Structure 1
Amino acid sequence: MSDLASAPHETSPADYQQLLTQALDGVTACAPATAVWRALGAAGALGLLYGSSNTLGPVADPARLGTLLRAVDARGDNGTTLSVLVQAASALPILGSGRSGRPGAAPSPVVAAFGQALAGTAQVALAATDEAAAGSDLSGLGTEVRIEGDELVVDGGKRWVTNAGTAEYLLVLGRHHPGRHFTNFSWVLVPAETAGVTVTPATSHLLANSATGHIAFDSVRLPADHRVGRNGRGMAVFARHMSTERLAGAQWAVALTSRVLADTRERLLQRTVDGEPLWHNAAVRQGFAECLVRVAQLRALCDSLAETAVKGQNLSAGAVLKSAVGLTVDTVLARCAQLQGADGFSANGAQVIRAEAGVLGIGGGVTELMLAGVADMSEQLLAELRA
């Protein structure tokens, strides 16, 4: 396949921001996430997102990734932002890891799907969380990928898969050998319309535009060329790109909390007690300022760890970022919800946004497990802090 983008670094940050603005201006506020994805792809914003690539797939440009997520978050639809984030930070890079082929050969299904996703004409759902194990126990998953002659056979099930209800392609992590060793797992590209695939919508009104659902695979048969990358490289590729997803989650967290803080400040300026705006109350200002400092700290952490995270060679970067998100987002949104009072329960109020933002403390690793990982790496982190 050709390069991801033609001379991607020739596009300045301002030009990329303008490209995103123009792409999204034509998408109505109530449009589904598929329309947002199509607009981003048609404008070339997805192709420009990946500044380079290596043997484990495309490498996102962290500044452009943050700019993309801020632009999508500004629409105020958390389900759509989640839909874009999972694809841009995880699904496409993992799918891109399987693009190699013989020069001059016809494009494989993996190459074709990757090209369609970059163009925005197809969505890809990352099907990793398994019905047979807790989300944090990927090596315990029960979904199997068997090799039978020149076919792959997929059996099992996946839960809480973002974009499951709208994606043309399902990127499925399964085991091809028993046991928990990291070489026992591979990725398979499953077209959503393949016989034996059943998608059930998740029973939740939160993050509605993320099209989250559960997927069952009943003896799903595919040609062998639907395997993504080399056999047994599934976990290695996933681990390589997990830090990028955690950076993306932190970047979204900054955008989301900043948006809610700005809305909260405006509400406090407009509501009055004895003729004075609530914003002038010293206790209110102090609580708000504490939230602002927390978000500023998270932004600084994103900036300092961005390059390390996208390179995927330092596990501590992703763990620290994910932990910081868990420690920041709910604290900030809880205070905003309190400051908004009854207004916080409105459709766009902080109470509802806080509930949807809970995904940031769960998806990709729960905060408590991330903190345990940080503790395990404490000697290394303390040495870096004292260097």
Structure 2
Amino acid sequence: MPDTPHRERQAGPDWAALDALPATASGARIWAALGEGGLTARAYRGGAVGAGADIDGLGGLLTAVDARFSVAATLSVSVQLATALPVLAAGAAPAARSALERALAGRATIALAATDVTAGTDLTALRTQVRIEDDALEVTGGKNWITNATTAGHHLVLARHRPGRHFTHFTWVLVPADAPGVEVTAADSALFADSGVGHITFDGVRVGRDHVLGRVGFGLPLFARHIGTERLAGAQWAVALCRRTLRDTHRHLTARAHGDGTLWDLDSVRQRFALCLLRLRELQALVAESGDSVVAAHDATAAATLKAAAGATVSEVLGGCGQLWGAAGFTTGGIQEVRAQAALFGIGGGANEVVLDVLADAAGTLLAEPALPDVLR
């Protein structure tokens, strides 16, 4: 049997719906199983999407999915849980209510189409437009590298209804995937095929006026309200991925013969592993400290800190573990393949450079002298 990483699954009847799937299942199949098993609602307080994220429930779901399936498939689930469904829940019209109900039940996936063809993560530069009429909306433009694009029943499209970069010039529109004028092309990415990633074009797509999500002009504030939860979810997932990788690597090192002992007996190996473990512990502590601030207070700086820390931690931990696996890490599905996929933690949802800018802007506040506890006064 090849010496490659394996999945250590969480035990318990709660995850039977996931355990029935093969490890190669796509994000869409996993989403269906979560919905059919009544598990999706666990990510939200009281099971209601509009009530906000349940920190433990969201983290538990992502850990369970990561333990069983690929990085790409887990990405498909994460984007929907943390951002797509909360944005969709802002719609009060029957079309939005129906789409949300179907998504929660696992009968449909939802694509969050924010990243524009020409703008990347600079959302105020996006060119996708929505023309608002008395009884209809017309959407024209394109979105690139959209998770769940090829499987979605609906696309949540961030579009501009007015020229310029002001934050009130953007609106979310719910667009059925089968509407005339919608064209989806799968992205050329073997690494992320399981996420349904693709490119979408909208050629004069017309939908009812009731397909606005939230209020006209509130697209960016609505997105900002939920991107923090996506960054928290990413950090929770990063903890699960790093912990699983370190467990597999520790098992590999303690079993792999070297001289009269194993690789684990080498001081250089143990120290390199310990540094990776230290990074994991640091990220765990940051997630525990920041979760409430992100979910309850919508603290953008805390969310940016989590995103930056997750990207750096995943890169260091998986890079270190990849070195410790040696040649065995290049097997199909091995650490080097996972490492390539995990590069998304430093890019997707806001590149490291973007979130580090947010952190730098808050330097004065973060470095202010903290108040002394009463016991020390």
Measured against the shorter chain, the TM-score band is over 0.9
Distance in 1 between residues matched to 2:297 and 2:231, nearest whole Å: 11
SS in 1 for 2:215: coil
**Counterpart among 269, 272, 277 of residue 262 in structure 2:** 277
Instruction: Find out whether 1:146 has 2:131 as its counterpart.
Output: yes
Instruction: Find out whether 1:42 has 2:36 as its counterpart.
Output: yes
Determine the structure 1 residue equivalent to 2:140: 155
- What letter is aligned with 1:51? R
Deviation at 1:313, TM superposition (A): 2.6
Distance in 2 between residues matched to 1:17 and 1:252, nearest whole Å: 18
Determine the structure 1 residue equivalent to 2:55: 62
- What letter is aligned with 1:112? S
**Counterpart among 170, 176, 190 of residue 185 in structure 1:** 170
Query: Does structure 2 conserve the Cα–Cα contact (< 8 Å) formed by 1:19 and 1:43?
Result: no
Q: Closer, same or farther in 2 for the Cα pair 1:81/1:20, shift >3 Å?
A: farther
* Structure 2: gaps of 5 or more residues: 1-9, 373-377
Determine the structure 1 residue equivalent to 2:312: 327
- What letter is aligned with 1:84? V
Deviation at 1:262, TM superposition (A): 1.0
Deviation at 1:207, TM superposition (A): 2.2
Please, which moves more after superposition, 303-312 or 282-291? 303-312
Provide the aligned C-alpha RMSD in A. 1.8
* Structure 1: gaps of 5 or more residues: 1-15, 102-107
Determine the structure 2 residue equivalent to 1:228: 213
- What letter is aligned with 1:213? G
1:17-43 Cα distance to aligned partner (Å, 9 max, x none): 846412212222222222211111122
Q: Closer, same or farther in 2 for the Cα pair 1:96/1:70, shift >3 Å?
A: same
Distance in 2 between residues matched to 1:337 and 1:53, nearest whole Å: 39
Determine the structure 1 residue equivalent to 2:299: 314
Determine the structure 2 residue equivalent to 1:129: 115
Aligned residues: 363
TM-score, normalising length from structure 2?
Answer: 0.92
1:7-156 map, 5 Å: 18=12, 20-51=14-45, 57-99=50-92, 108-133=94-119, 135-156=120-141
- What letter is aligned with 1:252? W
SS in 2 for 1:74: helix
Query: Does structure 2 conserve the Cα–Cα contact (< 8 Å) formed by 1:142 and 1:175?
Result: yes
Query: Does structure 2 conserve the Cα–Cα contact (< 8 Å) formed by 1:240 and 1:312?
Result: no
- Amino-acid identity (%): 50
Please, which moves more after superposition, 303-312 or 162-171? 303-312
TM-score, normalising length from structure 1?
Answer: 0.90
- What letter is aligned with 1:355? A
Q: Closer, same or farther in 2 for the Cα pair 1:281/1:36, shift >3 Å?
A: same
Distance in 2 between residues matched to 1:53 and 1:71, nearest whole Å: 18
Query: Does structure 1 conserve the Cα–Cα contact (< 8 Å) formed by 2:73 and 2:195?
Result: yes
**Counterpart among 145, 165, 168 of residue 150 in structure 2:** 165
Determine the structure 2 residue equivalent to 1:383: 368
Determine the structure 2 residue equivalent to 1:4: none
Distance in 2 between residues matched to 1:57 and 1:232, nearest whole Å: 20
Deviation at 1:383, TM superposition (A): 3.2
